[in-house]
Amino acid sequence: MLSNPKLIPEVQFMAQVEQDSGIAVSACYQCKKCTNGCPVTFAMDLYPDQVIRLVQIGQQKAVLNCSTIWVCSACETCTTRCPNEVDVAGIMDYLKEQAIKSGIDIPQPRTYAFHRVFLEDIGRRGRVFEGGLLPRYMFQSGEIWRKLKDRELKDDLELAYHLFRKGRLALTPQGIRARAAIKKILANSTG
């Protein structure tokens, strides 16, 4: 992506990002403090400072397709330490929303599936039911088939059994009365 010799800046992109998100990406002067403090760079395909720079020079496709925005753990170290008050973690969230809206294949499908299933679960009862969330995630992400093959499912079932035995697995979901209000909040969900 970075070695593409024909970089054609989409000059409106940064302005659009700043307007939508309220985050001043243009204030970044590439000191790389975000990247130096980031705990998960080892799993990223672009460093956080590179994501910001690519937004500045209008490389929309590169930033919407990168894994980095999904690998970000939202620990907020970058946002906290940025000397120019660029909300780097906020940009990661904004780009995730845009990536979904643009309909591209999400490069971290399991992470996306987990977030989606989690939000759906909130929509169902207003609260998350861990005991239902994880099986649903396994089917939606297709992880169930891999785990069956790798025998990881056995580990998961053992974990669930021990959680149950130790009293840490709720068997019945808790719902709220105002489910209609929650459904309304999530009605415009991009997930």
Binding site for another protein (CB under 8 A): 39-40, 42-43, 71, 73-77, 79-80, 87, 89, 93-94, 96-97, 100, 108, 110-111, 113-116, 118-119, 122, 126-131, 134, 137, 141, 155, 159, 162-163, 166-170, 174, 176-178, 181-182, 184-186, 188-191
For residues 9 and 135, which CB has a smaller minimum distance to another protein in the complex? Answer: 135
Helices and strands: H and E segment counts in the chain: 12, 0
CB of 56 or CB of 108, closer to another protein: 108
The residue assigned the tokens 């620990």 is 75
Each residue of 35-59: b (16+ CB within 10 Å) or e? bebbeeeeebebbbbbbbbbbbebb
Nearer to another protein, 148 or 178 (CB): 178
d(CA 156, CA 152): 6
